[in-house]
Amino acid sequence: MKKSRGRTSRKRRRKHLQRFMYGGTGRGLMTTRALQAGELVISLPEKCLVTTNTVLNSCLGEYIMKWKPPVSPLIALCTFLIAEKHAGEKSLWKPYLDVLPKTYSCPVCLEQDVIQLFPEPLRKQAQEQRTTVHELYMSSKAFFSSLQSLFAENTATIFNHSALEWAWCTINTRTIYMKHSQRECFSLEPDVYALAPYLDLLNHSPNVQVKAAFNEQSRSYEIQTNSQCKKYEEVFICYGPHDNQRLLLEYGFVAIDNPHSSVYVSSDTLLKYFPPLDKQKNAKLSILKDRDLLENLTFGWDGPSWRLLTALKVLSLGEDEFTCWRRALLGDVISARNEQQALNITTKICHFLIEETQHVLLQISQMKRDKENLKEQLTLVEALRLEDLKILQKSAEILCSLNVTTV
């Protein structure tokens, strides 16, 4: 009787979630009844997950077991996805493969002209992502060739760069964390991936809280909501407190009014506003670098971050104040002049970034007219830049009020 009730309740949990197309988020899951905080939303049995166990139990298993040096868990899953997609109607996973995106909007998939419109920190990370995927492809070509006996078609045609890019994006954007024990047939890279059909229809919202983990007792991956959800509303999960640059880099989308979003200030931008002949400049930079205070300098919805203001206060120390740098790092007021100069430079940087962002938005608008084939990609970057502009304008308002107070 207990087992029967468990199965029934699990069916009920799935029954009240229905696939739905939303204008803003695309495919998602809608609840047909109100959900209460603490309620179990989804329980997905282990046999429904695609993991390295799935790969080893497929026809690829024996090839992976004997390949030296061992392939990584990531490349094993990529290979499985490409092979199953190629199998078409013959694949047991066809229903799942059919609902996966045909293309992705992660930076690795975007045109170089579009990436050049990214803010500086993200632009560098995007190039690194492209390099990572390219190197993964080049280092896996020999392994792909070893699978030739499984296919009538040439493996170079099946396992091409485009196919690997698609598989890598599928795993990067859609896997859940599920740790597996280390196995000799795989490299030492962590085996922590699991694709979860149906569950990955849940879209991200920074404003919800969920508890998600693999339940060792039920051998199921479970998602429990810590937020209420009204009847007929979309059910969301939260991928974590990520800013929009991280969301675009890892998942290929931007969250509107994301409370975790920030606009980053590069060290090059920072140094534009300080006299090049400052004799203590190198010493100040060394102090900041040693304490990791030249990275992650940001403007947020609540204005300039503590890290940004602290870095600017250290750089603003007068020659007679330099010995007080430790106090500046602790947040002490060194002098009214130091406070005001740091605030003035913060304001200048904020206005510079506003102008830069507005200029890029004009570029995007022009490119959308001239390059119809890039319109979708450009709209994504436009959304990021518009969110940045809102944050910077809010920060400018806060800085204005701080300047008034100081005066």
Tell me: the pLDDT tens digits for 141-169? 999 999 999 999 999 999 999 999 999 99
CATH number corresponding to 262-406: 3.90.1420
Query: Which DSSP category does 292 fall into?
Result: T
| Architecture, CATH, for domain 17-251 | Alpha-Beta Complex (3.90)
pLDDT above 70: residue 138: yes
**Of 345, 385, 353, 393, which is closest to residue 368 (Cα–Cα)?**
385
Tell me: the pLDDT tens digits for 321-379? 999 999 999 999 999 999 999 999 999 999 999 999 999 999 999 999 999 999 999 99
- Could you tell me the residue ranges of all domains in the chain? 17-251, 262-406
pLDDT at 169: 98
Tell me: the pLDDT tens digits for 205-252? 888 888 888 889 999 999 888 888 888 888 888 888 999 999 999 999
- Dihedral (CA of 264, 240, 256, 367) sign: positive
pLDDT above 90: residue 388: yes
pLDDT at 302: 97
The one-letter amino acid at 268: D
Evaluate whether 173 touches 166 at the Cβ level (below 8 Å).
no
pLDDT above 60: residue 12: no
Tell me: the pLDDT tens digits for 21-68? 776 667 788 888 888 888 888 889 999 999 999 999 999 999 999 999
Residue 402 — pLDDT band, cuts 50, 70, 90?
A: confident
**In the beta sheet, which residues pair with residue 263?**
299
Helix (H, G, I), strand (E, B) or coil at 60: coil
pLDDT above 70: residue 199: yes
pLDDT at 357: 98
Query: Phi/psi at 87 (nearest 5 deg)?
Result: -65, -25
The distance from CA 316 to its chain's CA centroid, rounded to whole angstroms, is 35
Percent of the chain with pLDDT over 90: 74
